[in-house]
Amino acid sequence: MPEGDSIFRAARVLDRVLKGRVVEKFESVLPALMRVNYDTPLAGRTIESVTTRGKHLLMAFSGDLFLHTHMRMNGSWHIYRPDARWQRPARDMRILVAVENVVAVGFNIPVAEFLSSREIVRHRELGALGPDLLGRSFDEIEARRRIVALPHDTIADVLLNQRVVAGVGNVLKSEILFVAATCPFERVADLTDADIDRILGVARELMAMSVRGRRRQTTRSMDPRAMLWVYGRGGLPCRRCGATIESRKSGTDARLTCWCPRCQPPRRDRAGRAR
């Protein structure tokens, strides 16, 4: 599933090729989008920007119109020259935005709608998003407030909760907690404010590191086979201490969590008390 960093990279590329350009053609197989296109045509509008909010992508058109998309599991945006062959079958096409010499094609996008700026503010998902970890003005105090409001949740679940902080997906969740030396199953109530601030700091740092390059990386290794610390490495030795990495499916979606039991001991163990 694309995480905030992947969506950010996609938006950055779309913004680079589409920003300031005039739409020549808009097509979609989604009736709700075509209805808007029929009533208030997209062709002739200027694309003002392509940005992200957490895992959501917003393409802004002149005349206060935004195309909001969410990739969920399989969606993706591709950019082609008008005569180029698509890398995905045409039947997977959901949205097509063409400007002079460039065609942006959204494949298998399950969530797509047009919104005005006012509708964005009131939007059920967009309006409720927590502070964006990749946002230029990240509100750390607000993020911490939203975390401590869920004392019974584990820190792993809280990081995935887009209403708390926006952008973290399953891979980055495990990586952030490894770098922050925090046990994923720690309850928020057992963490100090300093712990939470440290975790948020690591989260921002790893997200920023991941969007700098062309792919996700949390280690500083030059080895393309060593981009991640723990995710997907259950049963393998920890890159830092050599202990065996553990992995477990947990939470409502049975999402995989990976961690090093030695580098990320539960707090009570660290304090020397028995669990």
User: Which residues sit at the interface with Zn ion, rule CB under 5 A?
Assistant: 238, 240-241, 243, 260, 262-263
The residue with its CB nearest to Zn ion is 238
Is residue 113 among the annotated active site residues?
no
Nearer to Zn ion, 69 or 257 (CB): 257
Is residue 55 among the annotated active site residues?
yes
Is residue 3 among the annotated active site residues?
yes
The CB-of-259 to Zn ion minimum distance in angstroms stands at 9
Phi, psi of 86 (to 5 degrees): -75, 150
Nearer to Zn ion, 16 or 262 (CB): 262
Residue with tokens 């580098």: 263
The 10 Å CB-count burial string (b at 16+, else e) for 111-150 is ebebbeeeebeebeebeebbbbbbbeebeeeebbebbeeb
Nearer to Zn ion, 34 or 241 (CB): 241
> Rounded CA gap, 195 and 192, in Å?
5
- Residue whose C-alpha is closest to residue 77's, from 18, 163, 142, 141: 18
Annotated catalytic residue, options 9, 55, 204, 233: 55
> Rounded CA gap, 254 and 248, in Å?
9
Nearer to Zn ion, 159 or 238 (CB): 238
> Rounded CA gap, 243 and 76, in Å?
37
Record the tokens describing residue 267, joined without a space: 């707090």
Is residue 173 among the annotated active site residues?
no
Annotated catalytic residue, options 3, 48, 175, 186: 3
The CB-of-181 to Zn ion minimum distance in angstroms stands at 9
Annotated catalytic residue, options 2, 94, 144, 184: 2
The CB-of-159 to Zn ion minimum distance in angstroms stands at 19
**Residues forming the active site:** 2-3, 55, 255
